A and B are shown apart, each in its own frame.
Chain A
Amino acid sequence: MHVHAAPIATPAVRFAGVVRHFGTVRAVDGVDLSIAPGEFFAMLGPSGSGKTTCLRLIAGFEQPDAGHIEIFGETVEGLPPYRRAVNTVFQDYALFPHLSVGENVAYGLRVRGIGRTDRDRMARDALAMVKLAGMEARRPAQLSGGQRQRVALARALVVRPKVLLLDEPLGALDLKLREEMQSELKGLQRALGLTFVFVTHDQSEALSMADRVAVFNEGRIVQVGPPEEVYERPATRFVARFVGSANVLEASQAQALGGPARPSSLRPEKIALLAPGAPAPEGASLIEARVTEVSYQGPVRRVSVLSADGLALTAAIPAAAAGVMAGASVRLAVPAGAVRAMEGEE
């Protein structure tokens, strides 16, 4: 992270009790948020959870009905988008179809009154930065999806925003391109030392790119933290299920598996399959169960089981493991410490 050395750095973006409703729907329902300068921040959640509205509140396309928003210490409520030092990469890229790629990138400079030669040079540099040198004369319609994405990125970065907002930036790309763009975005963010805020419904995208992840549900942030923390220690049932589909255990079930007497989460990949006759590892809890369903997922198999005392669990076991099929009896081991209390649940 590129957090400055100042003792109390002014947050790049700060939300205090922000509310935004559409009719009777509370799209954003009391969000507090603080994003550090230079942070790569992900807003993760299902559709309708309020994450995109939060992004639009930062951009200025929406105004809060209550609460307070600051960008680098400046109060921005009431400021229109064109008065905010933030820029957006839109989900559909929103490239201007009547302008060339070069003119698209130079648009923000043009409306700021920067002369043609200067803005052409800056647009060229910005395009080179996103590996599209020499594409200035093309029309957006002549570009592939990945190239359009890069143009949108160059167009937003050329006006030197303090915060870059990305709305489902990789949603429209195919898997290969998506992985490529992920590392490129990350590299760009590091090189520029800029604050990136991106919205996604894809948990693997959020976990792999972000410095911190905010998980949204029903207009509220249910957990914020580094990816490892959100994944390893989900605070609520919702986070446990939404991020990596963890098993959710009630207090008594958690205790029976060697965990605390509190509602807890158990990651499927922590559960190990024991070979017939093999002893349980030191400190692990043993479960006798019957397999109800198996789904092959490449590197792993997701196995749904029902234990003898009626507990339904999902385990992710190496795909190579033999003898696991629906109806089979298996012995599973839950290592000590794998069952983790959810801080946000009573």
Chain B
Amino acid sequence: MTRAPLSLKIAAIGGLAFLHIPLLFILLYCFTTEEKSYAFPPPGFTLKWFGVVWGRADIWAAVGLSLKVASIATVLALILGTLAAGALARARFFGREPISLLFVLPIALPGIVTGIALRQAFGLMEIPFSLWTIVLGHATFCIVVVYNNAVARLRRLSPSLIEASMDLGADAFQTFRLVILPNIGTALLAGGMLAFALSFDEVIVTTFTAGQQSTLPIWMLSELIRPRQRPVTNVVAVLVILVTFLPILAAYYLTRHGEAVAGSGK
């Protein structure tokens, strides 16, 4: 392998620094004693904001709602995404290409379009905003992530494996449990975790489908406008980083020997 020139190395390091140093600042200001502005360097260090976060019911309500939404949307996505992948991975039928395209479209569509579309649809059908309207909004893109992972894995699976299973006496359910699931399991796990992470920090679609409730990202957005107790948002942001980063890391390690995790770009 040839060695990269120095200028390229500096550019690469600069790019990474640009991406990641802001994260360090979030961490740094968790501990500052100054609550109205982000002065640098911080005048002093304290752990009291962690205590404040612990004691605020509005934060825990938002965390609870976000976890609920993300879990339900992920489960929904796993079921529907796998079924759709099963239908579209191999079968040849009229309209297959348009259907696959429509299926993947929500992830390419700007969130704001999805959001407005859903809000108007809910309005037309007189569906009141609730946990379920948020879940529906999130499911639109969570399904795509699971679908993309599952369909890529299913296409690598030799179709004769399924025939061999049926040939040896297994019915459809046995074949799914004993042959298909073990072969697409890691893809589903990766897709599911990615879906969870996407849902957990989603803002735009949620803004249009949440009504009066606050998921965690919405809560943080509203908190930023307030002048007091600014480090509280930093503490929560660090928690969010942990909650979303760990599954994505796990997904990466689980699938790095397989194909790229498709559709991870939302």
Known: A92-B158, A108-B169, A159-B169. Is A81-B178 also a contact (CB below 8 A)? no
B164/A80 in contact, CB under 8 A: no
Best-surrounded residue of A60, A94, A97, A156 (most CB of chain B within 10 A): A94
B177, closest chain A residue (CB): A111
A interface, CB within 8 angstroms of B: 59-61, 80-82, 86-88, 90-92, 94-98, 107-108, 110-112, 155-156, 159
| Contact between B169 and A90, CB atoms less than 8 A apart | no
Given contacts A60-B166, A82-B169, A108-B168, 7 further A-B contacts (CB under 8 A): A61-B166, A80-B166, A82-B170, A88-B163, A90-B164, A96-B164, A111-B168
Q: Give, as a whole number of angstroms, the nearest-CB distance from B208 to chain A.
A: 43
Q: What would be 10 A-B contacts, judged by CB atoms less than 8 Å apart?
A: A61-B166, A61-B167, A82-B169, A88-B163, A90-B163, A94-B163, A98-B182, A111-B178, A112-B169, A159-B169
Residue of A nearest to B181 (CB): A98
Residues of B within 8 A of A (CB): 158, 160-161, 163-171, 174, 178-179, 182-183
CA distance A96 to B161 in the complex (A): 6
- Decide if A82 touches B164 in the complex (CB within 8 Å): no
Q: Are A81 and B160 in contact (CB under 8 A)?
A: no
Residues of B within 8 A of A98 (CB): 182-183
Q: Tell me if B167 and A59 are in contact (CB < 8 A).
A: yes
User: Does the CB pair A94–B158 fall under 8 Å?
Assistant: yes
Which residues from A are CB-within-8-Å of B167? Answer: 59-61, 81-82, 86-88, 156
Given B164, B171, B178, B179, which contacts A88 in the complex, CB threshold below 8 Å?
B164
CB of B161 within 8 A of CB of A111, answer: no
- B109 to chain A minimum Cβ distance, whole angstroms, is 35
Q: How far is the CA of A137 from the CA of B93 in the complex (A)?
A: 41
Contact A81:B163 (CB < 8 A) given known A87-B168, A108-B168, A111-B174 = yes
Q: Across the interface, which residues of B come within 8 angstroms of A159, CB to CB?
A: 168-169
- Residues of B contacting A96 in the complex (Cβ-Cβ under 8 angstroms): 161, 164-165, 179
A163 to chain B, nearest CB (A): 12
Q: Which 10 A-B pairs have the closest CB atoms?
A: A108-B168, A94-B164, A94-B160, A111-B170, A81-B166, A98-B182, A90-B160, A88-B167, A82-B169, A81-B167
Contact A155 B160 (CB under 8 A): no
Beta-carbon nearest neighbor of B171 in chain A: A82
Once bound together, how far apart are the Cα atoms of A96 and B162, in whole Å?
A: 9
In the docked arrangement, what's the CA distance between A60 and B169, Å? 12
Q: Which residues does chain B contribute within 8 Å of A59, judged by CB atoms?
A: 163, 167
Nearest A residue to B185 by beta-carbon distance? A98
Provide the residues of chain A in CB contact with B161, threshold 8 Å: 94, 96-97
Query: Distance (Å) between the CB of A121 and the closest chain B CB?
Result: 18
Closest to B162 in A: A94
Residue ID in chain B nearest A84 by CB atoms: B167
A317 to B100, CA, bound (A): 60
The CA-CA distance from A92 to B157 in the complex, in Å, is 12
A111-B169 in contact given A92-B158, A92-B160 (Cβ < 8 Å): yes
Cβ of A81: which chain B residues have Cβ within 8 Å of it? 163, 166-167
Nearest A-chain residue to B161, judged by Cβ:
A94
Which chain B residue shows the least CB distance to A103?
B178
- For B160, B163, B167, B183, the residue with the greatest tally of chain A CB atoms inside 10 Å of its CB is B167
What are the residues of chain B within 8 A of A111 when measuring CB–CB?
165, 168-171, 174, 178
Task: Report the minimal beta-carbon distance from B158 to chain A, rounded to whole angstroms.
Answer: 6
Rounded to whole Å, the gap between the CB of B200 and the closest CB of chain A is: 31
Q: How far is the CB of B17 from chain A (nearest CB, A)?
A: 42
- CB-CB under 8 A from B158, the residues of chain A are 92, 94
In the assembled complex, the Cα of A325 lies from the Cα of B77 at a distance in Å of 73
Q: A87 — which chain B residues lie within 8 A by C-beta?
A: 167-168
Q: Which of A88, A96, A108 has the most CB of B within 10 A?
A: A96
In the complex, A164→B168 CA distance in Å? 12
Q: Which residues of A lie under 8 Å from residue B163 when comparing CB positions?
A: 59, 61, 81, 88, 90, 94
